[in-house]
Amino acid sequence: MGVEIATLRLRGPPEAAVQARFLIEDGIRTAWPDEERLVLIRRVALAQTRPGHRPIERHAAFRRAYDVATASRRHGGDSGAADANCVWFASRAEAWRLLLRALLAGRTPDAWFWRLVVPEWHGEAAEPWLAARLEEALAGRGEMDAVTLVETVEAAGASALLFAAVERLAASASGIAVPAGYRPDTDAAADIPRSGGSSFADDAPAIERVALLAARLPAGLVHLVETLALRLGPGKPAVRYLLERLLLRASPSLRLSPPTLAASVRSYASLLSTGRSPAIWLAHIVATGARTPGAAPQPPVIMAARSVAPARAAVPSAPGRRESTIEPETPTTMAPATPDLLVPAGERATPAAGLWLVIPALIRLGFREWLAERPAIAAADGGRQLLRVLGRHYRLAPDDPALAPLGEPGEDLGFETAWRVGLDRYYRHRARIRLADVILRPGRISVTEDRVTLRFPPEAADIRLRRRALDVDPGWTDWLGLVVRYRYAERNEP
């Protein structure tokens, strides 16, 4: 747990201040709870601290002071938060986003906590603030990546302000820095055509893949990113980074195939340099008869994915695998009722929170490596697609909260059934439990930024999963683009 003290007032002789400060900071780090969220406290009275106090006494006093100071905590976005002694945010990025929304709405936040949680804001108006943040985002710095920033601006209905910020940035900056660690292909600048007459026949599969991915995202977001790319220049490395982040938003598992990702970004930038988007290009191909809508209902990326789908026998197996004597499972239609738990803000109940519990088993079975060897499936969002198909197999409602972080469903890629069967066999052999009993496990789900937290009641902890370490936090899961955490608690304190 990180602790930052803005102002510390001590009563006592000056020569004792250094030791007292050390004791206070040490006591705070060890006595206060390890918060997952960002907590800001305006004032806390720690009572008297003396070197002669035993550590257990000092820690108990510090914990009581914390409980008093945070008793009336409020979320930083709530009305009346300015009057609270304690406010919290899910993350620093959430606070950054809320501040941006307030500025875009024409308000100037003046609550005591804004300068603490967003120290880089010095009271600027929306346009200069947005221009500076956009420059940081395009350079790979800051709390929010460029696509998330554009998405936030679009959701606030401030597209005109975004473009004004882009013009300000283009006028003031000699050039946009390349994001740290981002190395475009050495021939990237040479292969971007500068006229509309260039042929894209060789790039048709890559452009069609890009069109498929872009179609999964909100049209307004895609339009803004493409317009932003055109205003800054499609040949700039920072714009290629922006397009890369957009494609990864549509398919996080695409990051497992860097060559495919690089080819997609290169084709996207090349097409934009002619003034056309992938959607316009695809419509032109259909209109000119190069491809008829009825002749090929599925894009080539989907057909390529089907061609490499594994047979059932090819599904990765666990060590010591043997044939099961349990009858094959049938789709289950009902799950036990979700217990009546205390609900923190942002949590939603779902009868199938266990859908996210299959991630450790998939990691054990080598699903990530399997995806990396099949670029077509990775590019078609194979990671999230498998979880979507599992949810559909067990008849989850389309609006079930457990499915919300996975985005809109796509076409089946052909590999999902084999992995579902293999996953069920793995659970039966290793933990003597059915896949249905893992998935149809009620709990509550909360989503903040790129983090998904599943909370189950303590009595839901299953020894069959625990002894095989199949319910440990997966953490950052790149093929989902999410941090996944599990909690077994009656209440998830903010």
Please spell the DSSP secondary structure of 458-481, one letter per residue.
Answer: GGG--HHHHTTTTTS--EEETTTT
Phi, then psi, of 455 in degrees rounded to 5: -115, 125
- pTM: predicted TM-score of the whole model, two decimal places: 0.65
Strand-pairing partners, residue 348, are 445
Q: DSSP letters of 360-385?
A: HHHHHTTHHHHHHT-HHHHHTTHHHH
What pLDDT digit, counting tens, does each position of 100-155 carry?
A: 888 878 888 888 998 888 887 888 888 788 778 777 777 777 777 777 777 777 77
Q: What is the mean pLDDT of the chain?
A: 75
Least confident of 280-284, 313-317, 470-474: 313-317
19 — pLDDT class (breaks 50, 70, 90)? low
The answer on pLDDT for 36 being more than 80 is: no
The answer on pLDDT for 189 being more than 70 is: no
Number of Cβ atoms within 10 Å of the Cβ of 210: 29
The answer on pLDDT for 314 being more than 90 is: no
> For residue 303, which of 206, 249, 380, 371 has the smallest C-alpha distance?
380
- Greater confidence (448 vs 195) lies with 448
Mean local confidence (pLDDT), 219-245 = 77
With b for 16 or more beta-carbon neighbours within 10 A and e for fewer, the 314-347 pattern comes to: ebbebeeeeeeeeeebeeeeebeebeebeeeeeb
> For residue 173, which of 132, 126, 141, 231 has the smallest C-alpha distance?
132
What pLDDT digit, counting tens, does each position of 321-373 carry?
A: 443 333 444 444 333 333 333 334 468 999 999 999 999 999 999 999 999 99
251 exposure class (CB count in 10 Å sphere: 0-12, 13-18, 19+):
buried
> For residue 99, which of 80, 122, 70, 83 has the smallest C-alpha distance?
122
Residue 136 · residue 198 · CB < 8 Å = no
Number of Cβ atoms within 10 Å of the Cβ of 185: 13
Q: Which two tokens stand for residue 45?
A: 């009275």
163 — pLDDT class (breaks 50, 70, 90)? low
What pLDDT digit, counting tens, does each position of 380-419 carry?
A: 889 999 999 999 999 999 899 999 999 877 778 889 999 9
The answer on pLDDT for 284 being more than 90 is: no
